[in-house]
Structure 1
Amino acid sequence: MQNLKFALSGIMLFALVHNGNAQVNKSNFIKTQSGVKVSFKGSESAIDQDVYLDVITDKIIRVTALPYGDPFPSQASLVVVDSLQRQLKSFHVQPTDSTINLTTSDLIAKVSLVSGKVEFFDLSGKRIFSESKRNADAFIPDSYNGDPFYRLNQDFIVDTAEGIFGLGQHQNAIMNYNRGKQVTLLQYNTEIGIPFLVSTNNYGLLWHNYSITKAGDTRAFLPLNAFKLTSKEGEQGWLTATYVNKHKDDEVFLSRPESIIEYSYLTDQHKFPKDVKLVDSKVIYEGRISSPYSGKHVLHFKYSGYMKVWIDGQLVADRWRQSWNAGTFEIEQQFKRDEDHDIRIEWLPDGGESYFTLNWQSPIPTQRKNVFSFNSEAGDAIDYYFVHGQSMDEVVSGYRHVSGKAPIMPLWSFGYWQSRERYKTQAEIESVATEFRNRKIPIDNIVQDWSYWSEHDWGSQQFDKARFPDPAGMIKRLHDQNYKLMISAWPKINEQSTVYKQFSDNKWIYTRNIYDGRKDWIGKGYTSTFYDPFNKGARDGFWQLLDKNLFQIGVDAWWMDASEPDIHSNIDLNERKSVFQPNIGSSVRYYNAFPLQNAKGIYEGQRETDPNKRVFILTRSYFAGQQRYAAAAWSGDIASRWHDMKDQIAAGINFSMSGTPYWTMDAGGFLVENRFHKPNPADQEEWREMNARWYQYGTFLPIFRAHGQFPFREPFNIAPEDHPAYKSMVYYINLRYKLLAYNYSIAAKTFFEDYSMIRGLAMDFPKDQKGFNINDQYLWGPSLLISPVTEMGATSRVIHLPEGRDWYNFYTGKMSRGGQDITAEAAYERMPVFVKAGSILPVGRTIQFTTEQKQDLINLYVYDGADGEFTLYEDEGINYNYEKGQYSRIDMTYDNSTKTLLLADRAGSFAGMLKDRKFNIIFVDPAHGAGIDIQAKKSKMISYSGKTIQVKLK
């Protein structure tokens, strides 16, 4: 960075430290082209450091702090866009006795000359956000594989009343992270780490670091024996662990003391009793625990198999996870100091390899209750972008200004998608496609999961000719039936594959896994590894495989599975790091960025190969900036259980509030309990009900996709036509298509205005603090309040109607006042959905696929009670002409005081645009309820040809 000396640069500044004791604070500052550098050396009140403020826009400032004299980091950023434009008119740097102040037209950043900490204020002087003073733990020298770096720690001061959201996708059912929670930003199947948060105080923070990072309450977890433990027999120091025959409860294999439960990885398997087969066992932990602290305790579980936990006789957890794919959950408990609590844990390991860890966090000390921290394994500097705005949407827009806009996904992607694990032959996939069309169930995309290749040829990206004799013909026939095809393309290559030598000879792969001889689980087992997307040659080579073998025969979209990379699900982190060695630096430094670079190669490859076809990438892992590569995430291999369905709600909302808008999950869940394979009547009905509820939820997401292990996931394989589950699934698939105009318009808003389609309640109702912590409701676009049903047998559920607007039942039009909790009807076939007063909601006709017919007739529901606006957006749906301005917009506004709807002149045009259409306007107010399931008694049909129309509604 070129430095321009400020008029006072180089002059030593002196300050008086608090408490009345005068001492010299040695620091100096230099104004730079884009900000200021403040240096500290030999100060008694601050560590030796250089602090840089770099102005990106009037509302975005980059802060970089590093040990004094270290060079400013020079590596090109993987997250920040190459074309980042500085959009500022001017800024001013002004020293005071105690601070260096940098002022833009929006905010003031102050560097303390006493401590070196940075604080942000609005122009009125109100503090927005602040660092804590950096101490000796801020920069701890470390290295890995010859790469020197620092372990980094930065504490920030937050308002205990604000809501903090984002940080990726996590399976802890937590909505608001400003509640003394620790979240690990780590790529792992079902976990996505994105180092960006957004606050209800209208700021955001992008932590510019690729390594594994802890955020929030970063204090180390405590082992089980940090509690005072008492066994079932009354002995001090352990719990009683009893290994019994799971088929005969009275047959005890072994009983032993256990005071630490730590079976996290394959390397921990030897800790289990040698003569006990876990697959035949039920393990019961019993005794009492007491804490040396009073307050909220958080118990952290990692587990596979079945897990039930009772505390003081109350069942507080009932979970299941398939043995190879350990999951996590948390239990919050209020304990008083030295008070005994009974604990009982029943664990059915459910497999040969078994995983169970229990540790905990003590109550937050008073002095840390308003501290939110980032603690990273590797980096050259504490480095973050502070983003300010007038709303949370404006903050997200600032994040995308730094890291890239999210393109509009293709129109077809807003239809229904069918997948299963897996279509094993060409005949299977074609027969399912035909069955959908014969039943007239709308659908746009069918998905080919893994193992379509020959058994030994993982990584070749070629179909097995024995099972898929004519893949090009198959894809053409699917296209002829108006299907798109998405295909699974792993970044994994077997040593026995036909492409291994090419990738190995070019040094495009990670070789350690090959030398270690670690085998996968396909057939006889094959040694395998992953290609290196940090290497441009490897990215190009990988895309060329996809292009030659799949894209050129018509594949439409890419499913990037195992993009963590999932070297092996259950080896420990140190082993994963030893296998994953990017060519640009150490695995510790770049651990979380693999999915970003993987998506980059595919996006750039396809856009160069065919600039006129929109890219679509579905990926299991995700990192900051990945939205610019037309990437959507799904939540990984979750379980087909009610608790997993509920956990996805907060996971998806926080992913969206991380600035990364496209998200979905396996509707129906991926992992399936044995009891559903050949179910008894009760289990059969639970399976059907759970899938019906999951489909209802999936309708209101950016991608609506059913997927999972056996049983097959097509609606007609879940339930017969006359069953309420089947009727519900088909109803919601049809509803998805009726809402196409709404959904596609908010997708366009996501590109043009950096909007978020999945919206935590706090985004639109930041004054309704109750909504900050609600983890099972969200807003879908500007109008719809979505409240999934996640309990078996429920026919109603309590929902919160945010304060500030009234709400209308989506199905009936009945109005309810905002600012209250209500018990809403939730019949088997319907999920509660409410519409915000002031909404303008376009609803189209039933169609079989997104391009079956142009939307020449739209029911336009207008909801009384507040002013409203909506922009109906259209373009060609398949290409990037919208980037060149080829699209149309119809701006609609509703004036609540005059009850007038205004449709403005259509703006813009594109090839094939529908020039004339009809709107059937349905006015909904407390006296005239109308909804999707209740035909309006009164409506007004108008013709629209692109010129302004005003319609009086009352």
Structure 2
Amino acid sequence: MKNQLFLSLAATFLLAVPAVADTGKASVSIPADGMTCEIEFYTPDIVRVVKYPSAMTSAPEKKSLAVIASPADVNYSRKDNSGAVTLKTGKLTVSVNKKTGDITFSDARGRKLLREGDAVMTMRESGADKGSYTVVQNFSLDKDEPIYGLGILQNGKMSQRGTECKMIQGNTWDFVPFFQSLKGYGVYWDNYSPTWFRDNASTTMFDSEVGDCIDYYFMGGGNADGVVANMRHLTGDVPMHPMWTYGFWQSRERYKTQEELLEVVRRHRELGVPLDGIIQDWQYWGNNYQWNAMEFVNSGFHDPKAMMDEVHARNAHAIISVWSSFGPMTKPYREMDAKGLLFGINTWPESGYDGWPPRKDYPAGVKVYDAFSAEARDIYWNHLKRLYDLGLDGWWMDSTEPDHFDFKEEDLELPTALGSFRKVRNAYPLMSVEGVYDHQRAIDNDRRVFILTRSAFAGQQRTGANTWSGDVVSTWDSFRAQLPAGLNFSLTGNPNYNSDLGGFFPAAYNNVYGDNSAPRNPLFQELYVRWLQYGIFSPMMRSHGENIKREIYYFGEAGEPVYDAIAEAIKLRYALLPYTYSTAHDVSARRGSFLRALSMDFPADRNTHDCNDKFMYGRSLLVAPVLHAAYTPEDAISANKWLGLDNGTDNSAKVKAAVNFNDMKEHSVYLPAGTAWWDYFTGEKLQGGKTHSRPVKLNSIPLYVKAGSILPIGPDVQYATEKPWDNLEVRVYPGADGEFTLYEDEGDNYNYEKGMFSTITFAYDDSARKLTIGDRSGSFPGMIGKRKFRIVLPDGKSASVDYDGRKQTVKL
């Protein structure tokens, strides 16, 4: 190709090059014919690799959007001989072969972790990024080496070996260019342009459309937790969410008036079914020309302040839908348009006409804002603050990928504040969400930022965001795909994940029975209950979808199996709240994970390496959701793979015979080897490394506790903070030594960052059958002084302990 610069590291490191140069305490530059490679240690087991044409006198200036860490003062040794340049810290060895240019990464014991293949940079000859490059880096993995990560993928796979996908943010596929291996290392590809990830028998590669250099981070860690910790070190730690966010959330597309929204909160309180969060979806602003006005312009919301006052008076919280785009009749549109801060891509909604299909002869004129611009982010917050001042408790930031219809290559040529749209495309969700987080943190330390968002990128865990998997369709296949999607996302360092419980598009379940009949359609009932039961063990338990009303009272009444199964699932969520909130502290303070692939805790058991149907919730609970219909047929509802849409015309979603959800069915589950397990509900002890069957009904939740676990159980409440934890049940599961730290704070401010929280560590000695409750550490305003713990064993035996903060030992 004319004027093409083609650089392959396979032939660039020559013996005649100048000597390796130190560029700093922990940085080395290796020049070669046509290419320079810079290796820079950030920690003893995190290293950055940058490659660029040697015609440049130094690496291109680049301020990473995702990486916020700075290189540390890392000591390393260097060995430079005729064959290789070898750099060694106490944890990693990085070796550059002078003949091939390949870099090999090994651990401290010399065990090879990863080896590079070819690196390729090809100059772009035209367009907005002319003079930049397409950048490709190949890696060579072991044949049977499982890898995880890449984001939220709807492919149903746990290990991503054999995956090929184009990483460009979409509705139901969120991409993070990061993978980690079961061997205990990870690779973060620091590029924001559309990128192909390909893994096949010969190579694993990242191939990005634009970059000024090849730029990636290799990190050790030793195991999955270590790799996640290193990724968080690079890209940011996780702030605590408010305690109330770990309760139950109800939502609908959409509540059309404030009375509809308030009715849900009132009915929950009347029925005694717990509720903490309610969400107002779109069009509270009026018509599509007023899209995302960030004001209650719709006449159905005549007094939004009174609405929020009642929500709070009933001890609930509300968040509201805001988008990355604005209609032409809105104040934000006019302000941003005057400053050239809007993109001209085709986005949602396409029509000003409120109906389906969209009337494109009445275009809405909605435009996406330039979230890469600091000025635009300021304007966004200034308008969002109107809702904040009304008392809204958080933000549902929808379409943060953003929606991009009728895609054309020239759309990527559009300018942003940080270069072409192509250059920064995939980081849009990070920039838009971080803008809101930073602005709210700047003015308020009394309310923790909470953001629910539809898309994500590396580093987004630092923004108080919980990402949901987009508008997925209401099918069993789609439901099953959510488990590995969330686990792989968590393995990128982003711990906060959820999905629309029941799926977003259930229209087919209505079609044959009439409007809003899906809650009484056994096919949807079974799917919804099983999805809801899975949601108990997500960082956010949120019921949501379009076309039907899915509040509990539409599924029947107390005493009926579907209603009861829903109520029991919600109540179990609250019973586990002390465990969940303590796990949230582990996530925030110790870089832990809520959703844990079984390979994280049981890597020696090969049966866990590609397990996509069960997981650990925290470090104690193994969740094995019922993922297949047992009472009804799994009717196939057509869906668009990328958008998650069903066509709404499938009439097959009809039950052909009576369904009795009280009938017993069988559910089998393989429990990992290396430990014993306890059935959470029956107290039966089970052996690991075996498959076990148990009878289940619709309300049954296959849940197992690892031997040695200590599990705090919360009081029966209607909302998260209704009752103090002054009389907790603490369940102890013998069979191994164990430890658990109970975490407590004020629940909804940032005083914990100042050390205002307390912890109590419970330690179980299995051989001595002894539980030690340690001295309480720390304090905070409102802390419980004296309390009771009721210690319970699986066989029901119990002991009561009065605790005043001082160490106690209990013989069991």
TM-score (norm 1): 0.77
DSSP-derived class of the 1:655 partner: helix
2-structure distance, mates of 1:921, 1:184: 52
Amino acid at match of 1:205: V
DSSP-derived class of the 1:550 partner: helix
The equivalent position to 2:548 in structure 1, one of 707, 711, 728, is 711
| Structure 1 residue aligned with 2:141 | 158
DSSP-derived class of the 1:808 partner: strand
| Structure 2 residue aligned with 1:542 | 380
Which one has a bigger Cα radius of gyration? Answer: 1
Asked if structure 2 preserves the Cα contact closer than 8 Å seen for 1:436 and 1:443, the reply is yes
1-structure distance, mates of 2:556, 2:412: 45
| Structure 1 residue aligned with 2:45 | 59
DSSP-derived class of the 1:499 partner: helix
2-structure distance, mates of 1:766, 1:153: 31
| Structure 2 residue aligned with 1:470 | 303
Amino acid at match of 1:783: S
Alpha carbons of structure 1 residues 678 and 383: separation in structure 2 relative to 1, 3 Å: same
Amino acid at match of 1:673: A
| Structure 1 residue aligned with 2:59 | 72
| Structure 2 residue aligned with 1:29 | 20
| Structure 2 residue aligned with 1:945 | 804
The CA deviation string for residues 680-713 of structure 1, in whole angstroms up to 9 with x for no partner, is: 8998111111111111010100000000012201
Q: For 1:848-927, what aligned pairs fall within 5 Å after superposition? A: 848-924=718-794
| 1:209 and 2:191 matched | yes
| 1:461 and 2:294 matched | yes
| Structure 2 residue aligned with 1:824 | 694
| Structure 2 residue aligned with 1:753 | 590
The CA deviation string for residues 715-744 of structure 1, in whole angstroms up to 9 with x for no partner, is: 111233232111011001111111110000
The equivalent position to 1:845 in structure 2, one of 692, 695, 715, is 715
| Structure 1 residue aligned with 2:325 | 492
Q: For this pair of structures, how many residues does the alignment match? A: 756
| Structure 1 residue aligned with 2:368 | 530
1-structure distance, mates of 2:206, 2:531: 35
2-structure distance, mates of 1:121, 1:716: 58
Alpha carbons of structure 1 residues 147 and 875: separation in structure 2 relative to 1, 3 Å: farther
Amino acid at match of 1:206: Y
Asked if structure 1 preserves the Cα contact closer than 8 Å seen for 2:613 and 2:625, the reply is yes
| Structure 1 residue aligned with 2:636 | none
| Structure 2 residue aligned with 1:624 | 458
Structural RMSD (CA): 2.0
| 1:726 and 2:563 matched | yes
| 1:641 and 2:626 matched | no
| Structure 2 residue aligned with 1:302 | none
2-structure distance, mates of 1:133, 1:565: 33
Displacement of 1:526 after TM fit? 1.1
Amino acid at match of 2:214: I
Asked if structure 1 preserves the Cα contact closer than 8 Å seen for 2:669 and 2:693, the reply is yes
Amino acid at match of 1:152: V
| Structure 2 residue aligned with 1:244 | none
Displacement of 1:25 after TM fit? 5.1
Alpha carbons of structure 1 residues 521 and 560: separation in structure 2 relative to 1, 3 Å: farther
| Structure 1 residue aligned with 2:103 | 118
Q: For 1:371-520, what aligned pairs fall within 5 Å after superposition? A: 371-455=203-287, 456-511=289-344, 519=351
The equivalent position to 1:577 in structure 2, one of 400, 403, 412, is 412
| Structure 2 residue aligned with 1:590 | 424
DSSP-derived class of the 1:633 partner: strand
Moved more, 736-745 or 944-953: 944-953
Q: For 1:109-258, what aligned pairs fall within 5 Å after superposition? A: 109-134=94-119, 137-178=120-161, 180-217=162-199
Asked if structure 1 preserves the Cα contact closer than 8 Å seen for 2:40 and 2:71, the reply is no
Alpha carbons of structure 1 residues 678 and 943: separation in structure 2 relative to 1, 3 Å: farther
2-structure distance, mates of 1:204, 1:675: 43
Alpha carbons of structure 1 residues 775 and 23: separation in structure 2 relative to 1, 3 Å: closer
2-structure distance, mates of 1:89, 1:62: 13
| Structure 2 residue aligned with 1:801 | 671
Moved more, 674-683 or 869-878: 674-683
Q: For 1:4-23, what aligned pairs fall within 5 Å after superposition? A: none
Asked if structure 2 preserves the Cα contact closer than 8 Å seen for 1:797 and 1:824, the reply is yes
Displacement of 1:196 after TM fit? 1.6
Amino acid at match of 1:28: A
2-structure distance, mates of 1:753, 1:216: 33
Alpha carbons of structure 1 residues 186 and 567: separation in structure 2 relative to 1, 3 Å: closer
2-structure distance, mates of 1:818, 1:25: 59
Amino acid at match of 1:194: V
Displacement of 1:679 after TM fit? 2.3
2-structure distance, mates of 1:496, 1:123: 61
Amino acid at match of 1:742: Y
The CA deviation string for residues 239-273 of structure 1, in whole angstroms up to 9 with x for no partner, is: xxxxxxxxxxxxxxxxxxxxxxxxxxxxxxxxxxx
Asked if structure 1 preserves the Cα contact closer than 8 Å seen for 2:15 and 2:82, the reply is no
The CA deviation string for residues 465-519 of structure 1, in whole angstroms up to 9 with x for no partner, is: 51100001100111000111110001111123243221111222114659x9964
The equivalent position to 2:80 in structure 1, one of 95, 114, 118, is 95
Asked if structure 1 preserves the Cα contact closer than 8 Å seen for 2:92 and 2:107, the reply is yes
Asked if structure 2 preserves the Cα contact closer than 8 Å seen for 1:169 and 1:635, the reply is yes
1-structure distance, mates of 2:683, 2:318: 38
Alpha carbons of structure 1 residues 145 and 23: separation in structure 2 relative to 1, 3 Å: closer
Amino acid at match of 2:115: S
The CA deviation string for residues 568-593 of structure 1, in whole angstroms up to 9 with x for no partner, is: 3xx13526535x64221011111101
Amino acid at match of 1:49: M
Asked if structure 1 preserves the Cα contact closer than 8 Å seen for 2:129 and 2:210, the reply is no
Q: For 1:254-265, what aligned pairs fall within 5 Å after superposition? A: none
Asked if structure 1 preserves the Cα contact closer than 8 Å seen for 2:737 and 2:766, the reply is yes
2-structure distance, mates of 1:154, 1:23: 20
| 1:611 and 2:597 matched | no
The CA deviation string for residues 807-851 of structure 1, in whole angstroms up to 9 with x for no partner, is: 111111111111122233332111211111111111111101011
Alpha carbons of structure 1 residues 522 and 492: separation in structure 2 relative to 1, 3 Å: farther
2-structure distance, mates of 1:775, 1:164: 13
Asked if structure 2 preserves the Cα contact closer than 8 Å seen for 1:700 and 1:780, the reply is yes
Q: Percent identity?
A: 37
2-structure distance, mates of 1:111, 1:427: 67
1-structure distance, mates of 2:474, 2:349: 33
Amino acid at match of 1:692: V
Amino acid at match of 2:741: T
Displacement of 1:74 after TM fit? 0.8
Asked if structure 1 preserves the Cα contact closer than 8 Å seen for 2:66 and 2:459, the reply is yes
2-structure distance, mates of 1:951, 1:378: 62
Amino acid at match of 2:197: A
Asked if structure 2 preserves the Cα contact closer than 8 Å seen for 1:712 and 1:718, the reply is no
2-structure distance, mates of 1:792, 1:609: 49
Moved more, 638-647 or 458-467: 458-467
Moved more, 550-559 or 190-199: 190-199
TM-score (norm 2): 0.90
Asked if structure 2 preserves the Cα contact closer than 8 Å seen for 1:487 and 1:558, the reply is yes
| Structure 2 residue aligned with 1:834 | 704
Amino acid at match of 2:215: D
**Unmatched runs of 5 consecutive residues or more in structure 1:** 1-16, 42-47, 218-363, 929-935
Displacement of 1:103 after TM fit? 1.2
